[in-house]
Amino acid sequence: MSERIQAPRGTYDVLPEEAARRAEVEAIARRILGGAGYGRIETPVFEATDLFARGVGEATDIVRKEMYTFDDGGGRMVTLRPEGTAPICRAYLEHGMHKLPQPVRLWYLSSFFRRERAQAGRYRQFWQIGAEAFGSEAPEVDAETILLLAELLEALGVKGTRLRLGSLGMPETRAAYRERLQAYLHTHEDELPAEVRERIDLNPMRAFDADDAGTKRVMESAPRLMDELAPEDAEHFAQVRTLLDDAGLAYEIDATLVRGLDYYTRTVFEFTSDALGAQSGVAGGGRYDKLVEQIGGQPTPAVGWAAGIERMLMAGEGVRAPELPVDLYVALAAADARRAGFRLANEARRAGLAAQVEVAGRSLKGQLKHANRIGARHVAVLGAEGASVKDMESGEEETMPVEQVIPAVLRGRR
């Protein structure tokens, strides 16, 4: 025997029961997001590498070490999408969506690819549901997206959620703050581990994310961006908070919240769940008013989020796959009924019934047991003289010519 080939590390198969659960997740997302005017969008699995290098940011972990990038054989560098926002900005531009009434609201359910250390809740191919709203800087849109995300998490039964909220202001404020933070970190270099020290110049805000005690102590007294926001950014943030307060959504203000993507401006947020272990992030997002410009468009304010499907399913028990009943199971009492049985099942399906026919050569007793196990509502046993149709719920049984089986099941289904 040859060596068995296995799925690549960090990937997994979605088996039928799980696929049915996910279809339910999708239906719930469509109801909530579609109901708020969000239209479904699907972009390609791969994009020009430049889109992410420019869009997500050269200094981010994603671009520096997590992307699956390759030459497609024709001298073009392409990347398997590591996130959904930059591709949707590209699509917004490419299809001239700025000419539509704004805001343009879009949502997606897609798979994404990051070369990360695989562990529970962290995969190399994973799925996200995301929503993006383009063309408005109104704080109502920030609040709307956050409230829709909260509603989605609730509808999926995600347990123990906490919302953290912050504001990053605009790039100029951030640049000035960044220099102050860098200066502060440099004066504390001897208290920081190498990996934090190395990033002082590249991405100092990530130091707020570090878990080691030394860095945590240093960061407690570090300057906070939220104390330095420009008045209009502080006002925008206050309005977002008021709208969330009005809606009764609980949140914590976190002045140290930094997201792993460079494109955020103003509002940023993250939902975590206490029901998850180390990978507690369920969803995150924020406003990205400069991103569309950064990839070559006109200035276009926008806000959005992405939620991890694996983590939502892990932290929730609310989603159950709907049962798919079998209306008719065609059992065979005699070997020469095979042809008639096959034909009956096919015709039943064409008449709109969910129908299956015995093909495994089981004994009649085995067939009835199987029909029971798959939840068949009716079983038609085909013999030499017609069929005997049993209603599995009432136990009623009736003998009839084969031609009458489908009408009888259709009648009984009502």
Query: Is 282 or 368 the residue whose CB approaches ligand ATP more closely?
Result: 282
Cβ neighbours of 311 (radius 10 Å)? 25
Query: Is 230 or 255 the residue whose CB approaches ligand ATP more closely?
Result: 255
Structure tokens at 267: 């509002």
Q: Give the per-residue contact string, 236-275, with ligand ATP (x = CB under 6 A; - = no).
A: ------------------------x---------------
Site for ligand ATP in 311-350 (CB under 6 A): 311
Is 288 a binding residue for ligand ATP by CB under 6 A? The answer is no
**Of 52, 126, 177, 329, the one binding ligand ATP by CB under 6 A:** 126
Is 321:300 a contact under the CB 8 Å cutoff?
no
CA distances from 66 to 53, 82, 310 (A): 12, 8, 19
Name the phi and psi angles at 230, rounded to 5.
-65, 150
Residues 6+ apart with CB under 8 A from 194: none
Query: Is 83 or 137 the residue whose CB approaches ligand ATP more closely?
Result: 83
Query: Is 123 or 263 the residue whose CB approaches ligand ATP more closely?
Result: 123
Q: How far is Cα 410 from Cα 230, in angstroms, rounded to an integer?
A: 68
User: C-alpha angle with apex 266: 195 to 142, nearest 5 degrees?
Assistant: 125
Query: Is 290 or 377 the residue whose CB approaches ligand ATP more closely?
Result: 290
Comparing CA positions, the residue from 362, 305, 354 lying closest to residue 333 is 362
Is 55 a binding residue for ligand ATP by CB under 6 A? The answer is no
Q: How far is Cα 251 from Cα 267, in angstroms, rounded to an integer?
A: 13
Q: Give the per-residue contact string, 86-125, with ligand ATP (x = CB under 6 A; - = no).
A: ----------------------------x-x-----xx--
Structure tokens at 56: 């997500």
- Considering the complex, what minimum distance in angstroms separates the CB of residue 148 from ligand ATP? 15
Residue span binding ligand ATP (CB under 6 A) among the ranges 94-102, 183-191, 222-230, 279-287? 279-287
Residue span binding ligand ATP (CB under 6 A) among the ranges 1-9, 174-182, 187-195, 301-309? 301-309
Is 284 a binding residue for ligand ATP by CB under 6 A? The answer is yes
Query: Is 236 or 311 the residue whose CB approaches ligand ATP more closely?
Result: 311
Structure tokens at 101: 């009434």
CA distances from 186 to 189, 220, 239, 328 (A): 5, 15, 36, 73
Q: Is 375 left (phi over 0), alpha (psi -120 to 50) or beta?
A: left
- Considering the complex, what minimum distance in angstroms separates the CB of residue 132 from ligand ATP? 13
What is the contact surface with ligand ATP in residues (CB under 6 A)? 83, 114, 116, 122-123, 126, 128, 260, 279, 281-284, 306-308, 310-311
